[in-house]
């Protein structure tokens, strides 16, 4: 484990995105979005993925100079075509379309097709906060998750983020996969040679397992809830809604057709749409009640929950977004820790492209 | 257990709602919405609750002749004041406002204050299907749920429903509480003297328990996920979003201030808003892509998931809405089963008000 400054990793990511042909502005934005994951502690979605994006570009599956455009719209909705660009760049474009519509008619809702992995959901939802809007962000992803009673992997970890502004308190920021656990946590357990808790994974035969290698060996991640008795049909239902709003509504690939992020797996034949899909929403708070009034009540909501009496062995009740915000402060000061295999991967990537890591 | 025809229960519910002073149209609508729960198998939210509504009316907490009105609006949003009316009647009004806005600008979003329990979330979301819209419905509710690490009950079971139209296949209808299990399932286990699975309930001290009496004895229901290791912070986050969109956005009571459904518990002093809150959304499918195209892909989505290879011991993968739809067909034919205590409760209610059960 080594620590690297934000600036160091930003510079490297920016340089790499320039190397694969991104325009200057896109390389800046892409680096910023990708590294927001490292700052907020979602290590699996940050710079550790950079070489994954580059490999997709090598395969011709990422277009470094996309013409991102609105292809269909009404006063409160739009469909955005990402032109196979980096999701890191396509997503903020689409979120801004949603926010522009919210300025005009109260809310804006944008479904995106022909995109790629967009980093962490929370980054895009949080863009709305600056304008006193509620931001919503979701995306479909590589099929790694088995619906309740399914042996097959048909859904991605399909995250949902909702960001809600407050007044003096920091914003409420939910950012969650619709599975029991994210794939990144599984990879950490694999490295340590440890088992998973129950309800995270099923094996190739569709039987529950605690092997951290279960997914790698042909099994699947499980929807939030883990099994039917603990409500996995709800996690499955939520992941399905994310898939449908992101991809069926826009014309992207849905369910098992969502193209895999790993470049060594080819997309399925007979695709049902273009690229992967995202869905964004922006709601102006003052389209419902005066913003100051709303934000004052959000402060009260947050304070009441944070001051609730904790259960034995726990210090306090957390507000969604608390852990990520606290980590961001620490990592800006102390740097971002990268595991040795990630450091090695980035060094090799730099060497290959003549960029100094 | 006895079976009653839909018409019999409808007539009784309608008569009772007339008795407490509802106008004819509201009594018809209220009976229809309430009984949709019994038809769809959500027995805890159907006619079994009728005497609960009546007791709230006796306490002056339900206004049988409300002036339901839009108090604030933009082209795509509105706030509705339920005037302390039956949620069963307020909610369809608000959903129709959302749908009207969707007709004009693509989507409509309505937050409701000063309402009461609205029956099942799915009824209201499904209203959108008739117009080729995606319907969304959620509500806050009596505080029975402890956030992750909280000893206190701060949230309701805060359900989310999303209804999405298809072409030849029946619609996709998710209707889920944001807890591991609904309170109704707990009551069934209590009656049978059985324990709950893990992850459903914590006791008064904030410790996990499998006692079906845990909530009755001062404990709490747990958010979907059950505990931190299994993702309960996600269920808590979703329940929190429902609470905020339904109540903070509209000016209703949120969190622990949501007035309890049971009439023997008084609302807290120093309320932060009016009544309980709901949130509704309607999105015209053709505000994104031609409706026939979308619905054709929904058919393909549904067929692919339904035909997935099942796990050992299971027959097939279900689509959200399948179990409720199948039960509705059976119950329309064979009648609605009511437990003996419910039958007795309704008989007594009828006697008290001179309505024949």
Distance from CA of B240 to the nearest CA of A (A): 9
Give the whole-angstrom CA distance, residue B92 versus residue B77.
16
The answer to the question of residue A151 being in a domain is yes
Give yes or no: residues B87 and B197 share one domain: no
- Looking at every residue in chain A, the average pLDDT score rounds to 96
**pLDDT at residue number A9:** 98
Tell me if A312 and B180 make a contact (CB, 8 A cut-off): no
Q: State how far the Cα of A56 lies from the Cα of A263, in Å rounded to an integer.
A: 5
Q: What is the pLDDT of residue A259?
A: 97
**pTM of whole model > 0.95?**
yes
Asked if A86 and A216 sit in the same domain, the reply is no
Which residues, including other chains, have CB under 8 Å from residue A26's CB and lie 6 or more apart? A17, A64, A85, A86, A89
Asked, for residue B290, whether it belongs to a domain, the answer is yes
pLDDT in tens, B112-155: 999 999 999 999 999 999 999 999 999 999 999 999 999 999 99
User: How close, in Å, is residue A311 to chain B by CA atoms?
Assistant: 5
**Residue B191's domain is classified under what CATH number?**
3.30.60.50
Q: Which ipTM was obtained for this model?
A: 0.98
User: Are the beta carbons of A146 and A153 closer than 8 angstroms?
Assistant: yes
Pairwise CA distance, residues B144 & B189, whole Å: 17
Whether A148 sits inside 8 A of B248 (CB atoms) is no
**Could you tell me the end-to-end alpha-carbon distance of chain A, in angstroms, rounded to an integer?**
16
Q: Which of B163, B237, B242, B283 to mutate to test the interface with A (most CBs of A within 10 A)?
A: B237
Do B98 and B238 lie in a common domain? yes
Average pLDDT score over residue span B281-287: 98
- Cα Rg, chain A, nearest whole Å: 20
Of A111, A206, A243, which is closest to B288 when you measure between CB atoms? A111
Which chain B residues have a beta carbon less than 8 Å from that of A162?
237, 241
Which residues share a beta bridge with B150? A310
A vs B: CB pairs below 8 A: 259
Rg of chain B over all Cα atoms, to the nearest angstrom: 20
Is B150–A311 a contact, with Cβ atoms under 8 angstroms apart?
yes
User: Taking CB atoms and an 8 Å limit, are A207 and B311 in contact across chains?
Assistant: yes
pLDDT at A187: 81
For residue B290, the domain's CATH number is 3.30.1370.60
Residue B8 belongs to a domain: no
Work out the pLDDT band at A186, boundaries 50, 70, 90.
confident
Q: Assess whether pLDDT exceeds 90 at residue B168.
A: yes
| B176 and B289 share one domain | yes
Q: Report residue A122 CA to chain centroid gap.
A: 7
Question: Which pLDDT does position A226 carry in this prediction?
Answer: 96
In a domain, B96, yes or no: yes
8 Å CB contact between A99 and A108: yes
Residue of chain B with shortest Cα separation from A103: B74
d(CA B280, CA B283): 10
Same domain, A249 and A215: no
Is B249 within 8 Å of A294 (Cβ atoms)? yes
Distance from CA of A124 to the nearest CA of B (A): 17
Q: Quick check: A313 pLDDT over 90?
A: yes
Enter the DSSP assignment of A245. Answer: I
pLDDT tier at B91, thresholds 50, 70, 90: very high
Residues of B in contact with A107 (CB under 8 A): 76-77, 107, 109
Res B342: pLDDT: 93
Question: Is residue B85, in this structure, part of any structural domain at all?
Answer: yes
Together in a domain, A50 and A144:
no
Is residue A104 one of the residues assigned to a domain? yes
Token duo for residue B166: 């298809």
Pair A126, A272 in one domain: yes
Closest of B184, B160, B146 to residue B52, by C-alpha: B184
Answer whether residue B283 shows pLDDT above 80. yes
pLDDT score of A277: 98
Structure tokens belonging to residue A128: 């709305």
- pLDDT per position as a tens digit, B244-268: 999 999 999 999 999 999 999 999 9
Chain B residues touching residue A199 (CB < 8 angstroms): 230
HSE value, Cβ hemisphere, 13 Å, CA-based, for B139: 29
**Chain A interface disruption, residue of B134, B233, B248, B257, most A CBs within 10 A:** B248
Give the residue ranges of DSSP H helices in chain A.
6-19, 24-40, 50-58, 87-105, 121-126, 183-192, 232-243, 291-306, 322-334, 340-353
Question: Which residue does chain A place closest to B163, by CA atoms?
Answer: A241
Beta-carbon contacts of B145 under 8 Å, excluding residues fewer than 6 positions away, are B153, B154, B155, B156, B157, B158, B178, B179, B220, B221, B222, B223, B239
pLDDT band at B191 (very low <50, low <70, confident <90, very high): confident
Please count the structural domains in chain A. Answer: 3
- What share of chain B has pLDDT > 90, as a percent? 94
Q: What is the structure's pLDDT at B190?
A: 86
Over range B161-175, report the average pLDDT: 98
What chain A residue is nearest to B272 in terms of C-alpha separation?
A: A297
Distance CA A294, CA A14 (A): 39
Probe site for chain A from B157, B197, B287 (most A CB atoms < 10 A): B287
pLDDT of A289: 98
| Local confidence band at A58 (pLDDT 50, 70, 90 cut-offs) | very high
- So what's the pLDDT on residue B159? 97
Domain span including residue A198: 181-221
Q: Do A80 and A6 sit in the same domain of this protein? A: no
8 Å CB contact of B314 and A237: no
The string of pLDDT tens digits covering residues A16-54 is 999 999 999 999 999 999 999 999 999 889 999 999 999
pLDDT, one tens digit per residue, over A130-185 is 999 999 999 999 999 999 999 999 999 999 999 999 999 999 999 999 999 988 78
Q: What is the pLDDT of residues B300-357, one digit of tens each?
A: 999 999 999 999 999 999 999 999 999 999 999 999 999 999 999 999 999 999 999 9
Closest alpha carbon within chain B to A185:
B229
Residue B334 domain-assigned (yes or no): no
Instruction: For residue B202, name the pLDDT band (cuts at 50, 70, 90).
Output: very high
Q: Do A149 and B317 touch (CB under 8 A)?
A: yes
Tell me what pLDDT residue A192 has: 84
A208-261 confidence digits (pLDDT tens): 999 999 999 999 999 999 999 999 999 999 999 999 999 999 999 999 999 999
pLDDT, position A282: 99
What's the rounded Cα separation, in Å, for the pair B232 and A225? Answer: 9
Q: Which residues pair with A279 in a beta bridge?
A: A111, A138
Mutate to test the interface with B, among A308, A316, A321 (most CBs of B within 10 A): A308
Nearest to B275 by CA among B22, B60, B7: B60
CB atoms < 10 A from the CB of A272, how many?
A: 19
Identity of the residue in B154, B164, B310 whose CB atom sits nearest the CB atom of A151 = B310
Exposed/middle/buried for residue A268 (C-beta within 10 Å: 0-12, 13-18, 19+): middle
CB B69 within 8 A of CB B250: no
List the structure tokens of A322.
């608390």
SS (H, E, C) A246-286: HHHCCCCCCHHHCCCCCCCCCCCCCCCCCCEEEEEEEEEHH
B312 vs A contacts (CB less than 8 Å): 205-207
What percent of chain A stands above pLDDT 70?
100
Chain A residue closest to B185 (CA)? A229
CB A77 within 8 A of CB A56: no
Question: Cβ contact (<8 Å) for B205 and A106?
Answer: no
B139 within 8 A of B125, measured Cβ to Cβ: no
Model confidence pLDDT, tens digit, residues A268-311: 999 999 999 999 999 999 999 999 999 999 999 999 999 999 99
Give yes or no: residues A159 and A187 share one domain: no
Residue B214 pLDDT class (50, 70, 90 cuts): very high
Question: Do B200 and B309 have their domain in common?
Answer: no
Q: Are B234 and B107 in the same domain? A: yes
Tokens of B116: 């009461």
Which chain B residue shows the shortest CA-CA distance from A162?
B241
The answer to whether residue A124 sits within a structural domain is: yes
User: Average pLDDT over chain B, rounded to whole?
Assistant: 96
Give A61 to chain B, closest Cα distance, Å.
Answer: 24
Distant-in-sequence, close-in-space partners of A138: CB < 8 Å, separation ≥ 6: A121, A158, A159, A160, A161, A242, A245, A246, A278, A279, A280
A216 & A339 share domain: no
- Give the contacts of A279 (CB within 8 A, at least 6 positions apart): A109, A110, A111, A112, A136, A137, A138, A139, A242, A245, A246, A249, A250
């Amino acid at each position: 484990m080594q620590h690297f400054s934000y600036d160091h990793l930003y510079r490297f990511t920016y340089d790499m995105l320039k190397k694969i042909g991104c325009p200057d502005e896109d390389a800046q934005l892409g680096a910023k979005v990708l590294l927001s994951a490292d700052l907020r502690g979602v290590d699996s979605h940050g710079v550790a993925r950079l070489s994954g994006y580059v490999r997709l570009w090598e395969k011709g599956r990422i277009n470094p100079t996309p013409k991102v455009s609105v292809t269909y719209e009404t006063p409160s909705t739009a469909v955005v075509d990402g032109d196979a660009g980096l999701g890191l760049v396509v997503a903020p474009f689409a979120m801004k379309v949603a926010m522009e519509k919210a300025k005009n008619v109260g809310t804006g809702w944008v479904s995106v097709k022909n995109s790629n992995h967009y980093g962490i959901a929370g980054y895009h939802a949080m863009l709305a906060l600056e304008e006193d809007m509620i931001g919503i962000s979701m995306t479909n992803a590589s099929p790694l998750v088995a619906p309740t009673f399914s042996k097959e992997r048909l859904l991605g970890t399909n995250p949902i983020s909702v960001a809600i502004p407050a007044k003096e308190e920091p914003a409420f920021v939910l950012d969650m996969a619709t599975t029991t656990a994210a794939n990144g946590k599984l990879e950490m357990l694999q490295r340590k040679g440890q088992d998973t808790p129950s309800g995270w994974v099923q094996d190739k035969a569709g039987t529950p397992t605690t092997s951290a290698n279960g997914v790698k060996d042909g099994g699947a991640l499980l929807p939030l809830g883990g099994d039917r008795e603990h409500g996995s049909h709800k996690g499955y239902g939520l992941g399905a809604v994310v898939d449908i709003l992101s991809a069926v509504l826009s014309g992207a690939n849905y369910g098992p057709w969502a193209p895999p992020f790993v470049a060594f797996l080819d997309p399925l034949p007979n695709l049902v749409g273009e690229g992967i899909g995202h869905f964004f929403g922006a709601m102006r708070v003052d389209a419902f009640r005066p913003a100051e009034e709303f934000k004052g009540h959000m402060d009260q909501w947050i304070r009441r929950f944070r001051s609730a009496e904790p259960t034995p062995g726990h210090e306090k009740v957390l507000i969604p977004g608390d852990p990520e915000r606290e980590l961001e402060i620490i990592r800006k000061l102390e740097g971002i820790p990268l595991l040795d295999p990630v450091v090695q991967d980035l060094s090799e990537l730099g060497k290959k492209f003549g960029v100094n890591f």
